[in-house]
Chains A and B, each alone.
Chain A
Amino acid sequence: MRYLLQRFVQFLIVFVVVTFIVLAATRIGSSDPLRDLAGGQVNQERLEEVAADYPYLDKPLVIQYGYWMTDIVTGDWGYSYYQSQSVMDMFKQRAPATFFIVFWALVIGLLIALPVGIYSAYRRDRIFDKATSLSTFATISMPSLVVAVLLLYAVAARTDLFPTVGGSNYVAPWDNPYEHFKNFFLPALTLGVGIGGVWSRLLRADMVLTLQSDFVTLAKAKGISPMRILWVHALRASVLSLITSVALQLGALISGSIIAEQFFGPRGLGDRLVFAIQQNDLLTLQAIAVVIVAVVVVANLAVDLLYAVVDPRIRAARALT
């Protein structure tokens, strides 16, 4: 319990520091925060209205942070005059698409990484290993932008199956699974293939070591099947770096989805973010940034907990502290 509390506090500190940097960055990037909050070219009346909403803008940054974070945490994300919408409404509309791109990319990445990583370690230096090593190298070195363009030409443009540029609106999987699949398959594939390659290699490296350990030989000597040895014994002992990488790459996946959204299908937070940057739409910018930071921090906290689930020795050591 104490360990958990410690970790929680640590992650909270990280969250506060990073979000503080976010706030500071937007303040540095804006010569006139009040005007940017009000919506750019607006009249004096509006400026005064907004100034009344944000009376703390001339206070020191630390004080501003306090007010701002209180607003964020209580769900009062403000009204974006650029987008003519409350930031929260915009977020509710757009976040699901980004979420599902990232989610499916993660699923595809793992669906690639688990079998490829496991089997190429099992058949080290044989044809399967060499072939996958070459292809994962290719996908890793290819930016997802290039993958997106390739998929666009190779698949989306030639068939009517998938939407292309500027495609479609978000469809929830529970409303229409088929439409959902059509919308999300290509963008998720774009990101999933690259990340799957990275994870395959990571898992392969750890599996190779695990497969040389005595307990794997003992499992073999017990006469249980190779599949069970690989998936039950060896995999579990080899997933810690993979889990860590999943959490670390989450931020990269989210920013990747912002690119992928520009090419295919469902419009998520991506184009709102791009738009917000162009317009200096501080409210939208800050809100999206905070959410991404929160997601990454929570994911890392979750990984920390998963460690203990995977390895009883870690559990025991933590119980002592």
Chain B
Amino acid sequence: MSADRLSVRHDDGEPLLQVAELRTHFRTPRGMVRAVDGVTFTLERGKALGVVGESGSGKTVLARTVMGLLPKRNVNTSGSVRFGGVEMLGLPQRQMRELWGTEMAMVFQDPMSSLNPLMKVGKQITEPLRFHMGMGKSDSIATAERLLRDVRIPEPRRRLNQYPHELSGGMRQRVMIAIALACGPNLLFADEPTTALDVTVQSQILDLIAEQRRDRNMAVILVTHDLGVVANYTDEIAVMYAGRLVEKAPTRTLFSNMKMPYTKALLRSIPKLNLPSHTRLDTIPGRPPDLVHPPRGCRFAPRCANARDRCTEEEPPLLAADSDDHTYACWYPVGSPEYREREEQLKRLDDRRVLAAEEAG
């Protein structure tokens, strides 16, 4: 192609992905929905980043904005998304197309609605190989078969001629992964790749993604609302709340030293494996804020047990914790004197309630 060919760099110290002050606002009749509202992060080659947050916190919108997949209709985006040193925000679709599939790919949440129900599985895999990479027909079929084998689908040759509805949910998700891997991307977005699947299949799919990541030295952004899921599969975790990143740290640091009361609440809400899937032990009380009129100050304040006056007046900045690569946005983080004081109070309150209950009973 011509002079406007993108010059994505994969050599020098350039990070794979740099997102800065990214904002995605939807113009709706209700007003401006600030689905992503100033997100900044960096992802190195071959690393896995987990993006966690409740439903509606903007994870999918973030992923789709970064990949450039959002329709332009009624959407305002601003900020910067640099991929391999190239600014991607505002690139025309024609140029984005050079990156889709070959540089970045996505695995969607629901494999039933994301595969074309009217097209055979084989064709859906060979399609990008042929019409994007210019591979011949028989080569592409051989490659597709190899990909299906890579993602552990039994009888790959037979599967090529089947339609999505003839496959199980887990199998379909494997096909999606095969499609995403087809053109050898350097960055894979996995947007809740397991929420639509059975618990037993979930870890298989995550293991598969982890294995392919190692084999291909591919970076992964794993989006989920389940902190437990990302623990074993990521190098770093970013916690989202109401369109903003509120805490980000290497996975181990985050679990040993989480600072945001919201992160802590998320952790408490993890479904336990021995319970039927999707039962929550302790969901966070209250609802996520309205993204058209987000609350002043800290957006989590209306639901935060630790909130004080300052929280509803001033927005906490994203600050570095003890180590440089751990950042969080909270005035009274977990472990601070104020936090401990409030914790004590709550505990006393609880004890009193238990006592009262015992006396009454």
How distant is the Cα of A221 from the Cα of B69 in the complex, in angstroms?
7
Q: Tell me whether A124 is interfacial, beta carbon within 8 Å.
A: yes
* Interface-facing stretch out of B50-58, B92-100, B297-305: B92-100
Known pairs A222-B127, A222-B132; A313 contacts B73 (CB<8 A): no
Q: Is the CB of A219 within 8 A of B106?
A: no
Q: Tell me whether A169 is interfacial, beta carbon within 8 Å.
A: no
Known pairs A221-B69, A223-B102; A236 contacts B118 (CB<8 A): yes
Q: Which residue of A lies closest to B120 (CB)?
A: A312
Known pairs A214-B108, A226-B93, A313-B165; A220 contacts B118 (CB<8 A): no
Which residues from chain B contact A313 at a C-beta distance below 8 Å? 117, 163, 165
How distant is the Cα of A222 from the Cα of B107 in the complex, in angstroms?
11
Interface string of A212-237 (1 = CB under 8 A from B): 01110111111111101000010011
Complex partner residue of B101 from A223, A226, A228, A316, CB under 8 angstroms: A223
Which residues from chain A contact B168 at a C-beta distance below 8 Å? none
Task: State the Cβ distance, B329 to closest chain A Cβ, in Å.
Answer: 31
Which residues from chain A contact B93 at a C-beta distance below 8 Å? 226
Q: Tell me whether B343 is interfacial, beta carbon within 8 Å.
A: no
Task: State the Cβ distance, B241 to closest chain A Cβ, in Å.
Answer: 25
Known pairs A215-B114, A233-B119, A237-B118; A223 contacts B98 (CB<8 A): yes
Q: How many residues of B contact A (CB 8 A)?
A: 33
Q: Tell me whether B179 is interfacial, beta carbon within 8 Å.
A: yes
Q: Is the CB of B113 within 8 A of A221?
A: no
Q: Tell me whether B232 is interfacial, beta carbon within 8 Å.
A: no
Complex partner residue of A219 from B64, B67, B116, CB under 8 angstroms: B116
How distant is the Cα of A225 from the Cα of B130 in the complex, in angstroms?
11
How distant is the Cα of A220 from the Cα of B117 in the complex, in angstroms?
16
Q: Is the CB of A221 within 8 A of B67?
A: yes
Q: Tell me whether B193 is interfacial, beta carbon within 8 Å.
A: no
How distant is the Cα of A310 from the Cα of B118 in the complex, in angstroms?
7
Known pairs A222-B100, A223-B100; A312 contacts B165 (CB<8 A): yes
Interface string of B160-198 (1 = CB under 8 A from A): 000101100000000010010011000000000000000
Task: State the Cβ distance, B173 to closest chain A Cβ, in Å.
Answer: 12
Q: Is the CB of A221 within 8 A of B165?
A: no
* B residues 1-55 touching A (CB-CB < 8 Å): none
Q: Is the CB of A218 within 8 A of B114?
A: yes
Complex partner residue of B73 from A124, A220, A222, A236, CB under 8 angstroms: A124
Q: Tell me whether B110 is interfacial, beta carbon within 8 Å.
A: yes
Q: Is the CB of B69 within 8 A of A224?
A: no
Task: State the Cβ distance, B261 to closest chain A Cβ, in Å.
Answer: 34
Q: Which residue of B lies closest to A217 (CB)?
A: B69
Q: Tell me whether B105 is interfacial, beta carbon within 8 Å.
A: yes
Q: Tell me whether B122 is interfacial, beta carbon within 8 Å.
A: no
Q: Tell me whether A71 is interfacial, beta carbon within 8 Å.
A: no
Which residues from chain A contact B108 at a C-beta distance below 8 Å? 214, 217-218
How distant is the Cα of A218 from the Cα of B93 in the complex, in angstroms?
14
Q: Tell me whether A311 is interfacial, beta carbon within 8 Å.
A: yes
* B residues 92-150 touching A (CB-CB < 8 Å): 93, 97-102, 105-106, 108, 110, 113-119, 127-128, 131-132
Spell out B's residues near A (CB within 8 Å): 64, 67, 69, 73, 93, 97-102, 105-106, 108, 110, 113-119, 127-128, 131-132, 163, 165-166, 176, 179, 182-183
Taking A222-B127, A223-B128 as known contacts, 5 extra A-B pairs with beta carbons closer than 8 A to each other, sorted by chain A number, are: A214-B114, A215-B114, A222-B132, A222-B183, A223-B183
Chain A to chain B contacts (Cβ below 8 Å), 18 pairs? A215-B114, A215-B115, A215-B116, A218-B176, A220-B100, A221-B69, A222-B101, A222-B127, A222-B128, A223-B98, A223-B183, A224-B127, A225-B97, A225-B131, A236-B118, A237-B118, A311-B117, A311-B118
Spell out A's residues near B (CB within 8 Å): 124-125, 213-215, 217-226, 228, 233, 236-237, 310-313, 316
- The 4 A-B pairs with the shortest beta carbon distances in the complex, nearest first, are A223-B101, A223-B100, A222-B128, A214-B114
